[in-house]
Amino acid sequence: MTLTMAMPKGRIFEEAVQLLRSAGYNLPSSFEQSRKLIIDVPNESLRFILAKPMDVPTYVEHGVADVGVAGKDVMLEEKRDVHEVLDLNISACHLAVAALPTYQRGELNPKVASKYPNVASQFFKEQGEQVEIIKLNGSIELAPIMGLAGRIVDIVSTGQTLKENGLVELEQIRKITSRFIVNPASYRMRAGEIHDMVERLATVIEGDGSEDH
Ligand SMILES: Nc1ncnc2c1ncn2[C@@H]1O[C@H](COP(=O)(O)OP(=O)(O)OP(=O)(O)O)[C@@H](O)[C@H]1O
Ligand SMILES: O=P(O)(O)OC[C@H]1O[C@H](OP(=O)(O)OP(=O)(O)O)[C@H](O)[C@@H]1O
């Protein structure tokens, strides 16, 4: 029976496809170029659905996909009812708080802009700081420059975006890698196939797997 896998379009996609290929899955060479959102690979009994990275856990939670690949950032933000079974150790980056170098704490209810409102609000709560979160969908670095918010919570990878926009990192919130996630019912009903996939992927994962959950 075909197993449905939700894949994030964009950055993670290529690395995830590469990992699957190294694990021995025979995926057609046209895979990466296609604009199709559903790609069947009958010889591997796999169906791929290509979703927005933030939506992958939603497809998996609802069971329309049995398994999927999602960034830990997305898992923390979305808090979906799925099993996170493997750290794939791909698409590494980190979540951080950043601001203009001139930023000074002190304001009452200071504003923080982020594409990750839940992560940001939990982080500042844990720090005992009351903030107002402003949800943005991208170009987060604009917010401090334009005076929309004093600080941002965003993904940092090379640090180039912060640097080119004159921002500095204040604190690292946590390291991020992509995870292999599984629908709880599929995990029970299709345990054999899913364990097989997890084992195949586990053998080709690079790094020491020391990332905490
Ligand atoms: N430099 C980076 N910036 C953003 N995400 C990164 C970076 N490096 C790795 N990632 C990972 O890639 C995922 C985001 O992928 P991508 O940037 O393609 O999508 P997106 O920006 O969330 O989507 P979209 O811009 O289409 O709304 C994140 O969830 C994160 O885990
Ligand atoms: O540290 P860097 O290597 O520069 O990467 C980090 C940047 O990449 C992401 O933005 P993205 O390119 O996804 O655009 P967005 O602003 O539309 O989210 C992220 O939100 C940062 O802005």
The reply to whether 145 falls in a domain is: yes
Instruction: Tell me which residue of 86, 89, 82 sits closest to 187, measured CA to CA.
Output: 82
- For residue 209, pLDDT over 90 is answered with no
The reply to whether 212 falls in a domain is: no
What spacing in Å lies between the alpha carbon of 159 and ligand 2's midpoint?
Answer: 9
Contact 97, 153 (CB under 8 A): yes
pTM (predicted TM-score): 0.95
Pocket of ligand 2 from Cβ distances under 6 Å: 138-141, 154-161
- Nearest residue (CA) to ligand 2, atom 6: 156
The reply to whether 211 falls in a domain is: no
Domains: count for the chain: 2
Domain that holds residue 148: 93-174
CA–CA gap between residue 5 and residue 198 (Å, rounded): 13
Mutate to test the pocket of ligand 2, among 115, 157, 175 (most ligand atoms within 8 A of CB): 157
Same domain, 86 and 7: yes
- For residue 205, pLDDT over 80 is answered with yes
- For residue 63, pLDDT over 80 is answered with yes
pLDDT at 134: 98
Same domain, 25 and 84: yes
Same domain, 166 and 197: no
Ligand nearest to the CA of 9: 1
Same domain, 145 and 115: yes
pLDDT at 109: 85
pLDDT at 206: 84
ipTM comes to 0.95
CA–CA gap between residue 213 and residue 199 (Å, rounded): 19
Sign, CA dihedral 191-193-197-202, equals positive
What spacing in Å lies between the alpha carbon of 107 and ligand 1's midpoint?
Answer: 31
Same domain, 182 and 167: no
Same domain, 187 and 120: no
Same domain, 87 and 148: no
CATH value at residue 68: 3.40.190.10
The pLDDT confidence band at residue 191, using thresholds 50, 70 and 90, is very high
Ligand nearest to the CA of 96: 2
- For residue 210, pLDDT over 90 is answered with no
Q: At what angle do helices 191-204 and 11-22 cross, to 10 degrees?
A: 100
Same domain, 127 and 81: no
The reply to whether 213 falls in a domain is: no
139 vs 34, which has greater pLDDT? 139
